[in-house]
Amino acid sequence: MPEGDSVYRVARRLDRALLGQRLTRARLQVPAHATAELAGATVVANETWGKHLLIRSDAGWTLHTHLRMDGSWTVTGPGKVLPRRLQPDVRVLLGTEAGSTAHGLSIPVVELLDTSAEHRAVGHLGPDPLREDFDPAEAVRRLSSDPTRPLAPALLDQRLVAGLGNLWANELCFLRGHSPWTPVGEVDVAALVTLAARSLQRSARVPEAYQVTTGRTRRGETHWVAGRAHRPCLRCGTPVRVVAEVPGDPDRRRTWWCPHCQPGPGPEAC
């Protein structure tokens, strides 16, 4: 699933194609909004909050999308067309006067809102380190609200801090030296929030740093634990362990950890 830094990068790519541009073609291939008239409006912002994208117009509407597991955006330049094999996957099409077209592919959440009602889509979300209004103290307060909750599930709860997905939750646990099942009350939450914000901001804004947590760009060495099941820990050599997710339980996602570098309770603690 794309994480907050992924969606932030999508928004910046859409800035180059859409921002300040009048829409000459616009189509939403979802039943609820199939007849919506969007052409003629000008895109005035591509905002993100966590994993949510908000495309705002000067006509008072906001297009809210969420990529979840399979969605993506692609942009074609003037005179270019989307490959035929991808055309059945188009859920959103936004074509501009300048000739660029943004295509939202296989996007499961497509919602047209009055801009004044954006809170319906994102009002439940916690502070986002990639937003200008990020409040680290509020993030600390929310994460600390249940001191018995295991650390990794707390980091994944978008109501507490928005934008951290499974990759970042696992990597942050490693970087702070905590088992993913360590109770939040046993963690320096302020230091964790500082690290999470710095890491997500660098990943989103520095091209060569995108989701690189080790400082190494060699294939297979960009992450400390995420995706490295049964391989030697890059710090101590101990085999990285993994437990599978439990379908339908958001607190029990696939989890990787090094039992030597991350002492503490194991998955049986859940």
Could you say which DSSP state residue 73 is in? Answer: E
What is the C-alpha separation between 42 and 58, in angstroms, rounded?
6
Does residue 97 carry a catalytic annotation? no
4-123 classified as CATH 3.20.190.10: yes
- Give domain 136-257's CATH architecture: Orthogonal Bundle (1.10)
Positions in the chain whose pLDDT score sits under 70? 1, 248-251, 269-270
What is the C-alpha separation between 173 and 122, in angstroms, rounded?
26
Do residues 101 and 76 lie in contact, with contact meaning Cβ atoms separated by under 8 Å?
yes
How many residues comprise the chain? 270
Active-site hit among 3, 56, 228, 253: 3
- What is the model's pLDDT at position 111? 97
What is the C-alpha separation between 186 and 211, in angstroms, rounded?
27
**Residues contacting 77, CB < 8 A, separation 6+:** 99, 100
The pTM (predicted TM-score) of the whole model is 0.94
Domain with CATH 1.10.8.50 in the chain: 136-257
For 169, left (φ over 0), alpha (ψ -120 to 50), or beta?
Answer: alpha
Does residue 51 carry a catalytic annotation? yes
Does residue 80 carry a catalytic annotation? no
Active-site hit among 13, 176, 231, 254: 254
| Closest to 267 (Cα-Cα) out of 169, 146, 152, 145 | 152
- What is the model's pLDDT at position 270? 65
Active-site hit among 2, 127, 129, 180: 2
Does residue 150 carry a catalytic annotation? no
What is the C-alpha separation between 51 and 6, in angstroms, rounded?
8
The pair of structure tokens assigned to 174 is 């490693």
Burial 16-55 (b: 16+ CB within 10 A, else e): ebbbebebeebbbebeeeeeeebeebbbbbbbbbbbbbbb
Could you say which DSSP state residue 240 is in? Answer: P
Do residues 18 and 42 lie in contact, with contact meaning Cβ atoms separated by under 8 Å?
no
Ordered DSSP codes for 87-130: GGGEEEEEEETTS-EEEEES-SEEEEEEGGGTHHHHTT----TT
Domain with CATH 3.20.190.10 in the chain: 4-123
- What is the model's pLDDT at position 234? 97
Please, is 129 exposed, middle or buried when counting C-beta atoms within 10 Å of its C-beta (0-12, 13-18, 19+)?
A: buried
- What is the model's pLDDT at position 210? 96
